[in-house]
Chains A and B, each alone.
Chain A
Amino acid sequence: MAKSKRAWFQGDWVTPAEARWGLILVLPVMALFLALKIAPLMYGGYLSLTQYSLLQPPRFIGLANYERLFNDARALQAFRVTLYYTVGTVVPATILSLAVAVMLDTRLRGMGVFRTVFYMPQVASWVAIGVAWLYVMNPAFGPFNYLLSLFGIERQGFLASGSQALPTLIGIGVWRQMGYSVVIFLAGLQGIPQSLREAAVMDGASWWRSFTQVTLPILMPTTMFVIVTAVIFNLQVFDQVVVLTGGGPGRATTTAVLFSYNQAFQSFAMGYAAAVAVVLFVAIMILSLLLLGLSGQLSRKNR
């Protein structure tokens, strides 16, 4: 080599104009994210360390809100309800969706119509389908109770019953979650190269063997995506609870976000409400990271 030279510049943008325009194009976006996501997040963290009722300026009280939270039976119950709801919804919805997606992947006639049908609950708002379910499950005149009566089962309280409200909510949650999961599973299934299945057939694998040995492992990333997004989404359960039960009867269906909302806008305990939100946020982060770590481990094992 004739001579060796050190790189005299740091970045590798071509012209100053490119670097300048790149920044100009990105800046509005960054400003929005800073103002509407990052600043509120940090402000929320600060609020959670204060006592604030909107009337007087926030008063710094350290970790008192968190201390209160972990000794507050109502708050702890709200987190418990949230966890039950999430597990109760995500597990059956995922299994059912996978089954439906596998059925839809058989390339029979009319599969597009079924896919549209299963996605329908995702298109309507929680409020819209919430009131529909509210009617269907009404203890006094709801059609579901009528259906049960045809089988000789007496009227049930469902959403109005302390013991049945949460399971009913979960059932409705599964009903809606499926639409999203089916579409993603179906895309994942259709992304599996036909040649792999042909290879499995050539190797003489039964349907079940080729499903568990070939399809499922390849579908693992899709499955983890479905589970993680569903967990993140369902831990924030709010709309459907407000519409269907208002958190009742009693506090049987008061979830974490609803509890936080009530603290903020009914008790005007902004600091405490922020603390609840922060704890839920941290819980969501830890859970997602755990799930992602788990999926990483699983895919490594399959390699």
Chain B
Amino acid sequence: MSNLDYAPPAIRQTRRALIYMALIALSGIILAPFLMIVVLALSSPAEVFAWPPVLIPDNIQWQNFSDVFRVTNFGRAMFNTFVIATVSTIGIVLIDGLAGYAFAKMRFPGRTTMFLLILATLMVPVHVTIIPLFIMFRNFPLAGGNDIFGNGGFGILNSYPSMVLPFLATAYGTYLMTSFMRMLPDNLVEAARMDGAHEFAIFWKIYLPLAAPALTVIAMFNFTAVWNEFLVPLVMTSTADMKVIQTALADFSDQETVLWNLLMAAVLISILPLVLMFIVGQKHLVRGVAVGGTKG
């Protein structure tokens, strides 16, 4: 737009200044809570309740970050979160890669029907399936003290699978992957087939490497989503050693008191990996969001 702006320089500069001011003001509002997180994470318990609020703590309380792991079992929660986020991400990348390739590049009976069926589940929100899934997992036969009919125990509740499985069937990832695979040239399949490559090798050696950019986007989305997920762990687990970050954050408060400074230190620790990943992979992520918006 700027290169089409023929307004006199004075007006143009005023306009630009106004835009900057508006954006900076809005950014302030967006960043304020994050600022509070950082400030509190470095504050002493007394400064948390100071009036007027403290913006720069007197003594920076670095030990808050180590206290986080002493006061609660936050380390275990982080480990659990890391495991389910990583395992589900690897699973999704493989599954969506396979499905996207097959739907985009191969011809087989029932292809359209199956693709539409998967697309239709885009409309099915987590909250509809979470209660049935809870019961299905609880009644999983021969696991967690269950008999062969799935009675008597807790099935696969309170386990990693109960927190990983609900994420594996994501229509969005399959859809995104299929669209991306469709953009890759068709004739590489034919070239590889002429060259005598095995059908699985065509996927594994040719198309999977070529789909790396889209797979990165899906991996980042999914890792973030699972890392931040609250409802699924809340429903599927009840034991202390199966807590994940989002459910473990509640441990910093009880009925009467909240350990604000430790809570915020824990929050900061939990956000940091995602922020780093976001900054590193920003270009990919933004493109991924944009593909959904412009193609959807």
Contacts and interface: CB of A to CB of B under 8 A. Distances in A.
A and B touch in the complex (CB under 8 A): yes
Interface residues of A, number: 100
A270 B53 CA distance: 45
Given A23-B109, A127-B230, A141-B53, A47 B4 contact: no
Interface stretch (A68-76, A129-137, A158-166): A129-137
Interface string B170-209: 0100100000000000000000000000011001000000
B132 A128 contact: no
B133 interface: yes
Interface in B31-51: 31-34, 36-37, 40, 48-51
Chain A interface, DSSP helix/strand/loop, else mixed:
helix
A23 B174 CA distance: 16
Contact of B98 (A29, A121, A281): A29
A152 interface: no
Interface in A150-197: 175, 178-180, 183-184, 186-188, 191, 197
Nearest to A284: B125
24 contacts: A19-B107, A21-B106, A23-B110, A25-B99, A25-B200, A29-B98, A29-B174, A36-B166, A36-B168, A37-B129, A37-B169, A40-B129, A116-B279, A121-B30, A125-B245, A125-B270, A128-B271, A129-B34, A132-B267, A141-B51, A183-B286, A187-B289, A222-B294, A225-B292
A25 B293 contact: no
Given A123-B278, A184-B292, A191-B294, A114 B199 contact: no
Interface stretch (B20-28, B60-68, B210-218): B20-28
Contacts of B31: 117, 120
Size category of the binding interface on chain B: 35 or more
Interface of A: 11-14, 17-23, 25-26, 28-30, 32-33, 35-41, 43-44, 47, 52, 54, 100, 103-108, 114-121, 123-129, 131-133, 135-136, 140-143, 146, 175, 178-180, 183-184, 186-188, 191, 197-198, 201, 221-222, 225-226, 229, 232, 236, 238-239, 242, 257, 260-261, 264-265, 270, 273-274, 277-278, 280-281, 284-285, 288
